[in-house]
Amino acid sequence: MRQLLTALLVSGIALTATAQSATPSTLTLDDALGIAKKNNPVYQQQLTGKTRAALALRSAYGAFLPSADASFGSGYRQGKPEVFGGVAFGATSDILSSSWGLNFSARLSASTMTELRRARANFDAAEADITAADVGLRGLVVNQFLAALQSTASAALQDSLYKKVQLDLDLAKARVDVGSGTSLDVKRAEVAVGQQQVAALRAHNTAEIDQVKLFQQLGVARPGPVALVPLTSATAPTFEIGQLMDIARKSNPTLQGYQSRQTAAAEGVRSAKGAYTPTLSFGAQLGGYTTQYKNADVLVASAQGSVLSSQASCYTTDSLRRGAGMAGITAKCGAMQFTTAQAQAIRDGNKTFPFDFTSSPYNLSLTLSLPLFDKFGREQRVQEAQIARDNARYDVRKQELQLAADVTSAWTSLQAAYRTVGLQEQNAAAAQEALTLAQARYRVGASTFVELVQSRNDYERASTDRISAIYDYHRAWAALENAVGRPLR
């Protein structure tokens, strides 16, 4: 009989043989939440909203700073004159040129300040969304963690029931051996053993699947056999509904997000009305240029021709002066000479390309503009902003009502779940006593095998209900924390 019992036990728990061969690691709920925050892909995607809001806030601050543009360019012009109206213009030498520029501009209006406040409110809303995502992730992980714990507890219950039905089979066989039982009781007991093996197999399979789903929520692959650390037993809630509502109004991230968006919508109205106010604009431009002839002899020839022309004009004037009896200026005219040093200076001065710039005159501008009429565009934008503000206000009110309903219902459900745990524990204890008594009565022949099976079924239902009540209690806590918006334990 002992050999048969051993063989049945081995076959009944064959599914968990691999898990038993290795020492499983443990995982607490806090550890699971930490892993999920770092690895859950959906949660990580939601974190980008705060980054975008931070960039928008930085841009709003940047609106108070001037914008700046820098430029550098170079050019080449073929040395070929162009003819306009029969007159040739342009140099006969190729020309290289370069230039640089630096422009500053700033624009300030009443909308600049309101857009900053609006961006800050949107950033606060993004932070509230991150907190809401954190609360939502916590709810998903907690519920799946509880589901895995419950299925593990159910599997353990089925294993214990297997031992009980095996004991019933032993009792039935023992009674047959002493002549006080029937072969029908043995067959019924054998059927119960087989059915319990199936139930245990299914329970372990469910526990395995629930644990795989848990690690899916955590965002990592399951490393192998993992033992989940059970939560503490049910304790009476100590919060009052008024206290919970105060915490929820201050801490619920969804409500805070709606309130921040309401603030942003109000700033949007002010920003739209800012289109009626003057705008102050400031600008500044700096720059420089270079121009270089590839053939500097063109400049030398031009300068030399200019000197010769001036000398010829001087001699003409000298002749006129002498004819009029005035003193001559021949010496002055003779001094007009184009020297080699002058030619070299021209050639040296031509070497400016690309960075020997000549500064251009700088420009400063200050403009105050007042919009007068833009075909009712401002009026439309103001009305749309006011509608958005009103809708945001309605969203806040709707969320406040939703929050009150969620917190109240979660609180009452938690109280009912706590009382249910106490009742189910009493039922399970009573069913355990009834099963023990039924086994003792059947052992001495005071009851039938049918009564024993009925007691065992009652014990199974009561134990299953007790497990469900315990984890329903923890789910009620999770629902209350999700409604309030932060952990309460």
Residue 224: the pLDDT is: 83
Per-residue model confidence as pLDDT tens digits over 285-314: 999 999 998 888 888 888 989 999 998 999
Residue 233: the pLDDT is: 79
Instruction: Calculate the alpha carbon distances from 458 to 73, 295, 434 in Å.
Output: 93, 112, 9
| Total tally of structural domains belonging to the chain | 2
Residue 95 lies in a domain: no
- Using a 10 angstrom Cβ sphere, with 0-12 exposed, 13-18 middle and 19 or more buried, the burial of residue 375 is exposed
Question: Is residue 262 scored above 90 in pLDDT?
Answer: yes
User: Per-residue pLDDT averaged across 36-63, rounded?
Assistant: 92
Provide, rounded to the nearest whole percent, the portion of the chain with pLDDT above 90: 64
| Residue 269 and residue 301 share a domain | no
Per-residue model confidence as pLDDT tens digits over 264-283: 999 999 999 998 999 999 99
Per-residue model confidence as pLDDT tens digits over 74-102: 999 887 777 776 676 666 788 899 999 99
| Residue 151 and residue 232 share a domain | yes
Summary mean pLDDT of the chain: 88
| Residue 18 and residue 122 share a domain | yes
| Residue 217 and residue 117 share a domain | yes
Alpha helix stretches (DSSP H) within 179-252: 183-218, 241-251
Domain boundary among 310, 331, 349: 349
Per-residue model confidence as pLDDT tens digits over 459-477: 999 999 999 999 999 999 9
What distance lies between CA 57 and its chain's CA centroid? Answer: 16
Residue 15: the pLDDT is: 34
- In our burial notation (b when 16+ CB lie closer than 10 A, e otherwise), range 197-236 reads bebbbebbebbbebbeebbebbbeeeeebbebeebeebee
Residue 370 lies in a domain: no
Residue 66 lies in a domain: no
Per-residue model confidence as pLDDT tens digits over 99-139: 999 999 999 988 889 999 999 999 999 999 999 999 999 99
DSSP 366-378: EEEE-----TTHH
CATH label of the domain that carries residue 28? 1.20.1600.10
* Whether 294 contacts 79, CB under 8 Å: yes
Question: Is residue 62 scored above 50 in pLDDT?
Answer: yes
Question: Is residue 316 scored above 50 in pLDDT?
Answer: yes
Q: Structural domain of residue 476, as residue ranges?
A: 2-39+110-277+375-484
Question: Is residue 7 scored above 60 in pLDDT?
Answer: no
| Residue 118 and residue 22 share a domain | yes
Residue 23: the pLDDT is: 39
| Residue 229 and residue 179 share a domain | yes
Quote the crossing angle between the two packed helices 29-39 and 183-218, to the nearest 10°: 40
Question: Is residue 437 scored above 60 in pLDDT?
Answer: yes
| Residue 188 and residue 140 share a domain | yes
Question: Is residue 423 scored above 60 in pLDDT?
Answer: yes
| Residue 260 and residue 114 share a domain | yes
Question: Is residue 329 scored above 90 in pLDDT?
Answer: no
The SS3 of residue 417 is helix
The SS3 of residue 269 is helix
Residue 432: the pLDDT is: 94
Residue 18: the pLDDT is: 37
Residue 416 lies in a domain: yes
Question: Is residue 399 scored above 80 in pLDDT?
Answer: yes
Residue 124 lies in a domain: yes
| Residue 302 and residue 233 share a domain | no
Residue 202: the pLDDT is: 96
Residue 367 lies in a domain: no
Residue 195 lies in a domain: yes
Q: Is the pTM for the entire model greater than 0.95?
A: no
Quote the crossing angle between the two packed helices 241-251 and 253-273, to the nearest 10°: 40
What distance lies between CA 120 and its chain's CA centroid? Answer: 17
Question: Is residue 19 scored above 60 in pLDDT?
Answer: no
| Residue 447 and residue 322 share a domain | no
Domain boundary among 314, 349, 384: 349
CB within 8 Å of 364: residues ≥ 6 apart: 283, 284
| Residue 147 and residue 32 share a domain | yes
Residue 226 lies in a domain: yes
The residue among 455, 450, 447 whose CA lies nearest residue 164 is 455
Structure tokens at 188: 């019924």
Per-residue model confidence as pLDDT tens digits over 364-398: 999 999 888 888 999 999 999 999 999 999 999 99
Give the least confident one: 39-53, 70-84, 233-247: 70-84
| Residue 451 and residue 408 share a domain | yes
